[in-house]
Structure 1
Amino acid sequence: MLSLLLSFLLWILPAGRVAPHPLGSVDPCKIYGSVYLETDPNRANNCFAVVYIEPEQAFADLLVFNETNKLFADKAGLWCPSENREFADYTLFVTADRSRADFAIHYTKVRSFAGCKQ
């Protein structure tokens, strides 16, 4: 009977729900590897952080270089875009409102420029 009750609770509770974090508490310098960028607002609750894609390099918190191989995305700012959110190391929600983002990124074409701006 207890196992039936536990199974029922696992069925009705949402899977993968993460407690919301305070705005600005995410360290963008620790994000690397495969990254999935979510654009659907209905799935934003299951994302690790909210990110804004900054058009100007000077105002970004993190410079990102897109790697083609996940094995080379081993430092901050080196991201390998993932096509599937289940296989990504990080799932980030992309917002168009800068004030709602945890941090801002800017894509760079030079690998050595990638990383945190400190």
Structure 2
Amino acid sequence: MFFSFLLTALLAITPVASPAGHAPIAAPRATASASLEPCKIYGSIYLETDPGRRSYCFGTVYVEPEEAFADLIVFKETNKLFADKVGLWADAPARDFADYVLFVTPDRGKADFAIHYTKVRSFAGCKQ
């Protein structure tokens, strides 16, 4: 038992050597807008409006009134099972049940990308 204790202590204090060129295990998420791809977001979405919870969100979005300037055209699905492609979003009842939590900002300059809601399901999708 004494030797297993010594082995455990030795493993606990020995630094783990990572192979060269590999990223650390818990790398922080980059905040640049280039790292966030709006064309891969679909499913259940919770839109956060509280500025105090902005740091807990996946990204920042601006709701564009004009379709021409939006990066993503979104159709609101009533059922999460039908929100299975890009631009098809289902409203999540709470943050914990959402696939993505996005912060809605009133300032276009602070957003990672812009969305526009459409009433036609076939128009939904990425504009890029």
Runs of 4+ residues over 6 Å off in structure 1: none
1:88 matched residue in structure 2: 98
State the Cα deviation string for residues 74-118 of structure 1 (Å, max 9, x = none). 000000011201000000000011011000000000000000002
1:31 matched residue in structure 2: 41
* TM, length-normalised to structure 1: 0.82
Aligned partner of 1:114 among 107, 118, 124:
124
Taking the aligned partners of 1:42 and 1:24, their CA distance within structure 2 comes to 24
Structure 2: give runs of 5+ residues left out of the alignment: 1-11, 13-27
The letter for the 2-side match of 1:64 is V
Partner SS state of residue 51, structure 1: strand
Taking the aligned partners of 2:33 and 2:122, their CA distance within structure 1 comes to 29
1:58 matched residue in structure 2: 68
The letter for the 2-side match of 1:42 is G
1:44 matched residue in structure 2: 54
* TM, length-normalised to structure 2: 0.76
RMSD: 1.3
Taking the aligned partners of 1:69 and 1:33, their CA distance within structure 2 comes to 9
* Count of residue pairs brought into register by the alignment: 102
Structure 1: give runs of 5+ residues left out of the alignment: 3-17
Give 1:19 deviation, angstroms.
Answer: 3.6
Partner SS state of residue 25, structure 1: coil
1:72 matched residue in structure 2: 82
Taking the aligned partners of 2:33 and 2:71, their CA distance within structure 1 comes to 14
Give 1:24 deviation, angstroms.
Answer: 3.4
Contact 1:25–1:102 (8 Å) recurs in 2: no
Taking the aligned partners of 2:69 and 2:34, their CA distance within structure 1 comes to 15
